[in-house]
Amino acid sequence: MQFGFDYLPYKWLEEIINLAAERIVVVDSNGLIRYINSGYCDFLGIKAEDAINQPVQNIIENSRMHIVAKSGQAELSAIQPIKGGEMIANRYPLFVEGELVGAVGTVLFRNQQEWWDYSKKIQPLLEELNYYKLNYENGLKSKYKFSDIIGTSSKFMLAKKMAEKISVSNSAVLLTGESGTGKELFAHAIHQNSSREQFPFVRINCASIPEHLLESELFGYDEGAFTGAKKGGKRGKFELANFGTIFLDEIGDMPLSMQSKLLRVLQEGEVERVGGQKPKTIDVRIIAATHRNLEKMIEEGTFRQDLYYRLNVIKLEIPPLRERKEDIPYIATYLLKKLEKKFHQHGINLTNRVISKLQQHNWPGNIRELENVLERAVNVLEGNTIDIVHLPLYLRENVHFLSEKQKVYVDYNNHSDSFPTLKETLSLVEKQAIINALQLSNGNKLEASKLLGIGKTSLYDKCKQYNIK
């Protein structure tokens, strides 16, 4: 038995058309109007009976319906001037059993105001969708290449060349080194230089996610796995990274309970969601990173030895910045280029005095600390040249405030009256700090006062107090 429009009363069909399209017109192959609904008639200010069997261009201003009825080519979202305004029209050729018999036209917006009102409603939704789409796509791609990893020192180049060599492999990689040395940059570059480049690069920081959430983040969960679980469940990071690379940063901070579950993934090549009934096969390359001493953690029983050997197929140690100080000028230049984009500036450079000062520092925070120092300098910069005055105080000051003659030595065998008072010691330190600042500023007291973080008048007073010329 067939069911179709034959079973619907005419009045029903007409009402359905009016509901489905506010304004609609149908013409035959000769461009004569065969149907026009009440919504369109109201818009035009006419009666339907006055329009039927009339040439469409005589009824609807600037109509192209008769053209579409001949060409068979649709015209979508076309702007049509009408009644002193502009409307948005769609024109479709009408084919019946393969034969072009006419055209159907609909009006989406009668004027620009209607379009503007619609845009105001839909635009925030589109922006939100694009935001989440962009963040999702960016979050699953590597950002850096090997050319973005700067350095020429022998120890660093050895690590970089090894990373390039093993990037084409599928073996697990363990990146070690102090915080801020650039382990994540190496992970990005390894993925981008591999055959998995077109597939996801998924990052997860094992130290930043609470232990009770880490399992569901890594492996996902099925619907109803726990209270608050999303309908349809959620894919975990390993599923998202399928055929690509997963970067497990701060692997040394992963709880022991999770280490055993991660080991199973590495051994079996499959994951099982929280609340799931069956495992899912995955193909993922693991890159792990840590600043911790995993060998010592194994001895202490806080890291699984079998997991360590699974991760430690290829080990790369990234040297700290203090062991490659000759690279500091190149790294600083690269970081300044990034900061120029951030601060919308151009041509920022460093004086030789600043470079020398940067190379004297031991950089416990490594490249991350260097970037912070440079960003601080750009924030207070006037002009394009970063000088000593723009560096933070702990880098400006000399390590030793007092000369050998001014150092205070304590002889505990002598009487207490020979021990300098706190006031005397502070005066010595203050005096030497002023002398250092004046030397660095070549006697410029205004610049020296900025180095010391005091006013120029205060500096003159203290110079007079300590008889500093």
194: domain CATH number? Answer: 3.40.50.300
183 and 303 fall within a common domain: yes
pLDDT category at 414 given cuts 50, 70, 90 is very low
Distance CA 142, CA 190 (A): 9
Tell me if 265 is assigned to some domain: yes
The residue from 91, 113, 135 where one domain ends is 113
Tell me if 151 is assigned to some domain: yes
The yes-or-no verdict on residue 86 having pLDDT over 70 is yes
pTM (predicted TM-score): 0.57
425 and 382 fall within a common domain: no
45 and 176 fall within a common domain: no
Nearest to 185 by CA among 295, 316, 89: 316
329 and 461 fall within a common domain: no
182 and 306 fall within a common domain: yes
Which one of 160-169, 435-444, 445-454 scores highest in mean pLDDT? 160-169
- Using one digit for the tens of pLDDT, what is the confidence trace for 347-365? 999 999 999 999 999 998 9
pLDDT category at 128 given cuts 50, 70, 90 is low
Distance CA 100, CA 94 (A): 6
- Using one digit for the tens of pLDDT, what is the confidence trace for 181-227? 999 999 999 999 999 998 999 999 998 888 888 888 899 888 877 77
List Cα–Cα distances, 149 to 143, 164, 186, in angstroms. 12, 11, 8
227 and 349 fall within a common domain: no
Tell me if 130 is assigned to some domain: no
Nearest to 28 by CA among 49, 9, 51, 53: 53
Over range 412-436, report the average pLDDT. Answer: 68
Tell me if 38 is assigned to some domain: yes
The residue from 301, 319, 337 where one domain ends is 319
337 and 385 fall within a common domain: yes
Question: Helix axis angle, 352-360 relative to 328-343, nearest 10°?
Answer: 120
DSSP three-state, residue 289? strand
Count of structural domains within the chain = 4
Tell me if 422 is assigned to some domain: yes
Q: What is the span of the domain harbouring residue 445?
A: 397-469
